């Protein structure tokens, strides 16, 4: 029996999605060049395969037009990050956001900037 297609993003797929979110519609060559500029020198065929997988998973869509094809995100960073974080909270922390927050705070001391951001969020929640 064939294994069902995974709907989650792998690390490499997420890395490509970050590039698409930052630059918008792009070709496989443009994405490969951005990766190479950041020190990740993947073969063009690898990038093209990852883009095809992202299209199959409905994270990207191929835009109409002539070659080279351009692709654009179908899902926003906010949507994907919300889903990934929700999955993490469910799988690792049994659905407890409190446990996640405690783990984040226990991991290392909050910086002044992080503490101010947290205080601002908590003040807004009370309003």
Q: What CATH number does domain 11-73 carry, 3.30.70.260, 3.30.379.10, 3.30.70.1230, 1.10.10.10?
A: 1.10.10.10
Which residues pair with residue 62 across a beta bridge? 71
Per-residue pLDDT tens listing for the chain (127 residues) = 555 556 789 999 999 999 999 999 999 999 999 999 999 999 999 999 999 999 999 999 999 999 999 999 999 999 999 999 999 999 999 999 889 888 888 777 788 898 888 888 888 876 6
pTM (2 decimals)? 0.82
Calpha distance 100→93 (Å, rounded): 6
Calpha distance 127→119 (Å, rounded): 13
The alpha carbon of residue 70 and the mean position of all alpha carbons in its chain are separated, in whole angstroms, by 19
Closest CA to 24 of 76, 67, 82, 65: 76
């Amino acid at each position: 029996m064939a294994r069902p297609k995974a709907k989650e993003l792998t690390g490499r797929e997420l890395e490509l999605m970050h590039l698409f979110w930052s630059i918008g519609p792009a070709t496989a060559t443009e994405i490969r060049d951005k990766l190479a500029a950041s020190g990740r020198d993947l073969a063009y065929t690898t990038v093209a395969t990852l883009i095809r997988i992202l299209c199959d998973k409905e994270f990207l869509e191929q835009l109409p037009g002539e070659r080279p094809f351009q692709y654009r995100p179908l899902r926003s960073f906010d949507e994907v990050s919300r889903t990934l974080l929700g999955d993490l909270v469910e799988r690792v922390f049994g659905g407890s956001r409190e446990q996640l927050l405690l783990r984040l705070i226990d991991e290392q001391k909050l910086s002044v900037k992080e503490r101010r951001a947290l205080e601002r969020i908590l003040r807004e929640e009370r309003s």
